[in-house]
Structure 1
Amino acid sequence: MMKNNMETILEFNQQFVDKREYEQFLTNKFPDKKMAIITCMDTRLVELLPRAMNLRNGDAKIIKNAGAIISQPFGSVVRSVLVAIYELGANEVVVVGHYGCGMTGLNSEGIIEKAKARGVQDVVLDTLTNSGIKLHHWLRGFDNVHEGVLNSVRILRKHPLLPNDIPVHGMVIHPDTGALEWIADGYRYLEDVQSDPDLADKETHTPSATR
């Protein structure tokens, strides 16, 4: 009989622990590079992104979701960022999107139809809608990865609970080569805002403002 995923995981884990293979990963909960990274859950980035960014176990707090999207300022992603800063010593934030992201042009209607095909009933969807939950908005993605990253950067920079000395950067990674583009310069943004606070509401952090 074929083993299921959980049985396979536990079998491997027993050997992993018995052979003390965990010793090479021993560290503590505080990020050595004092960074919090928000990135996508894409399978291509599991090992590629840390290697491409020269990150080892213990270097950074890595927060993942679909598309590296911050859809609203008081959700779990921002909460994780604030915990990383105030409790774990992070002093820099990087949002890393990637080309070929499944959230690009995501069709929320398509997801809803697939949910219905898997047994979610119309009455459930109607109840959610009548409760004020905007499923089409909640399930939407972005038009392009640059737009998605920059929007997440904006939300973080303007968040009332984020310290005003925390640089928030935006990057895009190629999921095949690991090549990185720095599209939002958090250092430059802080310098600009320090010299002219009115710039906080302007697009000085877009690619043209990158060093």
Structure 2
Amino acid sequence: MSILEDMLTANAEFCAHPPADYTQEDQKKSKLPQKQLALITCMDTRLVNFLEPALGIGRGEAKVIKTAGNGITGVFDGTIRSLLVCIYELGVKEIFVIGHHECGMANTTSESLIKSMLERGISKEAIHMVKKELTEWADEFHHPEQNVIDTVERIRLNPLIPEDVPIHGLIFHPRTGKIDVVMNGYQ
């Protein structure tokens, strides 16, 4: 069975027998985040069903934006666009940038990505089109805590983000669930 078939089978089972905590009331949850906050975090699989509960955040309470290394690459990149919708359309009042220890981006380089792309048949011309951004993005990440600081600063300096929105920087321990504050957005 393919991965798609596995997912469709799991979905049919889920819909036929939804978990008890998905009550009728829960199904009516608003798309607006109840806690009026947005999390920018990594796509690491170890954070799934672990990070939000470790922060006391449940379904319907926050907008969660996931991206490799929880980074921002430009003044209007995909993460910033998501934040703009969060703030101006969905009522988000605070932003939390949450990196994590043992992040795979710390070992990722543009060179390793390009090598893998070429091996998978991506043309040199296609790589050339994105090489500058790829290098700036992949080669810039060295340490998760510093990346959190850099991301918070990029958001804070972005002219599209209102000054009255606190932006916090946190580091998550993917083995223990412990959170450490790197930057307190209230200070």
TM over 0.5, yes or no? yes
Structure 1 residue 107 displacement after superposition: 1.5
In structure 2, what residue type is equivalent to 1:94? F
Q: Which amino acid aligns with 2:9?
A: E
In the TM superposition, residue 20 of structure 1 has moved relative to its aligned partner by: 4.0
Match for 1:77: what amino acid?
A: T
Structure 2 unmatched ranges of 5 or more:
none
Q: Which of residues 3, 12, 15 in structure 1 aligns to 2:13?
A: 15
Question: Counterparts of 1:72-87 in structure 2 under 5 Å?
Answer: 72-87=74-89
Q: Retained in 2: the 8 A contact 1:103–1:141?
A: no
Contact 1:36 1:62 in 2 (8 A): yes
Runs of 4 or more, structure 1, over 6 Å off, are none
Q: Does the C-alpha gap of structure 1 residues 42 and 184 become closer, same or farther in structure 2, counting only changes over 3 Å?
A: same
C-alpha displacement of 1:109? 0.3
Q: Report how far residue 31 of structure 1 moved.
A: 0.6
CA distance in structure 2 between the partners assigned to 1:148 and 1:69 by the alignment? 7
> Which residue is equivalent to 2:52?
50
The match for 1:100 among 78, 99, 102 is 102
Deviations 1:146-181 (A, max 9, x none): 110011100111111111110000000001001000
- Once residues 133 and 10 of structure 2 are traced to their aligned partners in structure 1, the CA distance between those partners, rounded to angstroms, is 42
Please, which runs of 5 or more residues in structure 1 have no aligned partner? Answer: 189-211
Measured at CA, do residues 48 and 141 of structure 1 come closer, stay the same or move farther in structure 2, by a change above 3 Å?
farther
For the residues of structure 2 that align with 1:134 and 1:160, how far apart are their CA atoms? 21
The answer to whether 1:64 aligns with 2:66 is yes
CA–CA distance in structure 1, aligned partners of residues 140 and 12 of structure 2:
40
Residue number in structure 2 paired with 1:167? 166
CA contact (8 A) 1:149 1:170 kept: yes
TM-score, with normalisation over the residues of structure 1? 0.81
CA deviations on 1:41-93 (whole Å, 9 max, x unpaired) are 00000111011101100010000000101121210101101111110111000
Q: Out of 104-113 and 81-90, give the one that drifted further.
A: 104-113
What is the CA–CA distance in structure 1 between the aligned matches of 2:30 and 2:71, rounded to whole Å?
A: 27
Tell me what 2:153 maps to. Answer: 154
Question: 2: CA distance between counterparts of 1:183 and 1:135?
Answer: 26
Asked if 1:181 corresponds to 2:180, the answer is yes
Measured in 2, the distance between the counterparts of 1:176 and 1:46 equals 12
Look up the match of 1:40. 42
CA contact under 8 A between 2:63 and 2:86: conserved in structure 1?
yes
Aligned alpha-carbon RMSD (Å)? 1.7
The residue type paired with residue 35 of structure 1 is L
Aligned to 2:22, the other structure's residue is in SS state: helix
Cα distance in 2 for partners of 1:28, 1:86 equals 16
SS at match of 1:119: coil
Once the two structures are superposed, residues 174-195 of structure 1 have per-residue CA deviations (whole angstroms, 9 ceiling, x without a partner) of 010010001101011xxxxxxx
Per the alignment, residue 89 of structure 1 pairs with 91
- How big is the shift at 1:124? 3.3
